[in-house]
Structure formats: C-alpha cells, structure tokens
Chain A
Amino acid sequence: QVQLVQSGAEVKKPGASVKVSCKVSGYTLSELSMHWVRQAPGKGLEWMVTFNPEDGETIYAHKFQGRVTMTEDTSTDTAYMEVSSLKSEDTAVYYCATHQKAVAGYFDYWGQGTLVTVSS
C-alpha cells in the first residue's frame, strides 16, 4: 500500500517561489510514476506534471513549462514540486499522486494536499 505525505501549508508573496514535498512510503520512489495536480479554491482539478521512472521523462502541462520544476530524492523517497514567480492565481491545494501499474495514467494514490496561498 502506497502512502503519500505532503509538507504543510505555505503562504508566499507574489513573485516568490514555493517548494512542496511528497514523502513516499510503502514503495520506493524509483518504482513509481509521480504526478502533481492542483485545485484552486472552489474550482476543479488541474494536472501539472508527470515523471515516468521507466524512461526518465518529465512531462509538463504547457502552461507550467518554465515555471514548475519537479525533482526527486530517491535516497529519502521524497518527490518535490517547485513553482516559481508565484501569482495570486497560483493559490491552490497542490496534490502529489501516483498509481499502481494496473491503472497507469490515472491516480489511485493521493497525498493529503498542500495549501499554497499567494498574497501580498
């Protein structure tokens, strides 16, 4: 059973950066394809980025390319997602998510979410 535990809520000023972590247990990070999905207050779900360990490829949603960086520390089984040049529209709950091989491309394990608030 995979468990994903994310870092705590953050408050940032416009123009700053934020780095959210996602600690994996139950599996090693290198076995998993990790994704990040965000949800603005009262809004729907928005996929941001995916890392596939099988080919080492990171795929970003077009709107986040150049502003979002996904990294992994396999020694601690922790994934990170950094958003730079924050704007008020980036205020959202950020989720890490992954999946069993049988449901590749979907998300059957989720972190608890990290609220990032961007406000001056």
Chain B
Amino acid sequence: EIVLTQSPDTLSLSPGERATLSCRASQSVSGYLAWYQQKPGQAPRLLIYDASSRATGIPARFSGSGSTTHFILTISSLETEDFAFYYCQQRGNWPITFGQGTRLEIK
C-alpha cells in the first residue's frame, strides 16, 4: 500500500498570503495524484487531479505540481473561504489511499 504523508499538519497563514502544502508518496504514483478541500460538516471537494489539472469550477489561485513521489498544492493568495482541511489522494496503485490531511487555519 502506498502511504501518502502530508506536511505540515497545520499551516497558519493570513488572507492574501501564499500557501504551500506538500504530499509525499512512499513509492511512485506517476502523476496520479489529486487534492481535495474539506470544510467541517461537508463532503470533500475535488480541486486538482492528475497532479496539476484543475477540476471544473476551481479558481485559478489553486495550482498543483509535482510527479512520482513529491507533490505540491499552492494557493497563490488566500481567501477567507480557503481555510479548511486539505487531503491528497493517489490512484496510481490499488488500494486508493489518502494523506492524513493538512489543516489550513487563519493566523
């Protein structure tokens, strides 16, 4: 099973700042990695798939990069509504696995 490790566990930033979230895989997932945003009491929302493709309706301030074992989600200028939990997910190998999550909180 591929283990995804996200860092940091918690990221404290202010609106307008740039956020950089990391996801490392225990072995290569090629480019088959996604990022999700989840707010309390809501289902996750797909932001990025295949490492760098934005899902439908996702603002351009969200971008993804990386390949094989190291991936980055960047939020270029934080809006208030971006403070939430973020998860990465790989589909490169069965079983599908998720990272443990990063909490993005307002500083």
The distance from the CB of B89 to the nearest CB of chain A, in whole angstroms, is 7
B11 interface residue per 8 A CB criterion: no
Q: Which residues of B contact A95 (CB under 8 A)?
A: 43-44
Q: CB distance A46 to B43 under 8 Å?
A: no
A44 interface residue per 8 A CB criterion: yes
Which of A45, A46, A111 has the most CB atoms of chain B within a 10 A radius of its CB? A45
Known A-B contacts A44-B87, A45-B87, A105-B91; A110 and B98 likewise in contact (beta carbons under 8 Å): no
Q: CB distance B91 to A106 under 8 Å?
A: yes
Q: Which residues of A contact B100 (CB under 8 A)?
A: 44
Bin the interface of chain A by size: 20 to 34
Q: Which residues of B contact A50 (CB under 8 A)?
A: 96
B78 interface residue per 8 A CB criterion: no
The distance from the CB of A20 to the nearest CB of chain B, in whole angstroms, is 14
Chain B contacts to A: CB under 8 angstroms: 1, 32, 34, 36, 38, 43-46, 49-50, 55-56, 87, 89, 91, 94-101
Chain A contacts to B: CB under 8 angstroms: 35, 44-47, 50, 59, 61-62, 95, 97, 103, 105-108, 110-113
For the complex of A and B, the 4 pairs showing the least CB-CB separation, nearest first, are: A105-B91, A110-B43, A47-B96, A108-B46
19 sample A-B contacts, Cβ–Cβ < 8 Å, listed by A number: A35-B96, A44-B98, A44-B100, A45-B44, A46-B98, A47-B89, A59-B94, A95-B43, A95-B44, A103-B46, A103-B55, A105-B32, A105-B96, A107-B36, A107-B89, A108-B46, A110-B43, A110-B45, A113-B43
